[in-house]
Amino acid sequence: MTELNVNIDHVATIRQARKADYPDPVWAAALAELAGADGITCHLRIDRRHIQERDLRILRQTVRTKLNLEVSTAQDPLGVAMEVGPDIVTLVPERPEELTTEGGLSVTHNRDAITNAVNLLGERDIRISVFIDPSIDQIKAAHEIGIKMIEINTTRYVEAPNADTRRKEYGQVMDAVRLAEKLKMRIAAGHALDYKNVGPIAAIPQVTELNIGHAVIARAVLVGMERAVREMIEAIRLGEPPAA
């Protein structure tokens, strides 16, 4: 079944809102794993607005499944990634003013920075993924650099304003998936997925893992982490293809 990596950034967002020492994203990660999550994802942003280096260092010691760290190609977070050694590093674009990651990383426009990051992380045997829009050009460029894993940005599909656009966006996701499969890449997907829209993405057999944060943490605030994670696992299991 498609794996669920729970992104715990927003547990840290609540903590940082008061610069308190709770709630602890490390605890949240443990609860998510106990509820059946297949991995823990977090984003060490340059401005450290949510996850802190302390979180990452403890998560590296406590996460029993897999730890996926999102970072930009800037020197600062890459250095921390090298030191901590997560199982996967997902390269993402980062704009200081953004509320959340706004789009996929353009591999075609950032070839040198991405190649540097790949070479650096390769020294530590860390699996490297790039978060990209569902675009043939981006996948080809990632493959040329030697990247073997991608995370497809699902935002445009999820936020499509009507059924026609949604069908078109789903088609783009499927084209991207088919090419990545042909190139023998491991395929993840994520961003803006929730309990209602996850089905058609979870139903794509080549997509082996999903990174989901906001929807799960928002629900966990009300119903508890264990139930929020279990319900997402159930939504993924039920994954339905899109309406024709």
What residues numbered 215-234 form the site for ligand PXP, per CB under 6 A? 215
CA distance 122 to 186: 17
Residue 220 phi/psi, 5-degree rounding, is -60, -30
- Of 23, 213, 239, 242, the residue at the interface with ligand PXP (CB under 6 A) is 213
d(CA 226, CA 35) in angstroms, rounded, equals: 5
The reply to whether 191 belongs to the active site is yes
Is 2 a residue that touches ligand PXP (CB under 6 A)? no
Single residue of 192, 198, 220, 236 touching ligand PXP by CB under 6 A: 192
Active site residue 231: no
Measured from the CB atom, is 30 or 201 closer to ligand PXP?
201
The site map against ligand PXP for 139-158 (x = CB under 6 A) is: ------------x-------
Among this protein's residues, is 226 annotated catalytic?
no
Considering only 14-22, 72-80, 164-172, 208-216, which stretch makes contact with ligand PXP by CB under 6 A? 208-216
Residues between 6 and 25 that touch ligand PXP (CB under 6 A): 7, 9
Q: Based on the number of CB atoms within 10 Å of its own CB, is 3 exposed (0-12), middle (13-18) or buried (19 or more)?
A: middle
Q: Which of 10, 33, 43, 143 is an active site residue? A: 43
Q: Using a CB cutoff of 8 Å and minimum separation of 24, what contacts does 171-179 make?
A: 172/134, 172/135, 173/134, 173/201, 173/204, 174/204, 175/134, 175/136, 176/134, 176/135, 176/136, 176/139, 176/150, 176/152, 177/134, 177/152, 177/204, 177/206, 177/207, 178/206, 179/136, 179/139, 179/140
Closest approach of ligand PXP to the CB of residue 244, in Å:
27
Which residue in the list 10, 50, 143, 191 is annotated as catalytic?
A: 191
| Residues of the shown chain interacting with ligand PXP in the complex, contacts defined by CB under 6 A | 7, 9, 43, 70, 90, 92, 100-101, 131, 151, 190-193, 211-215
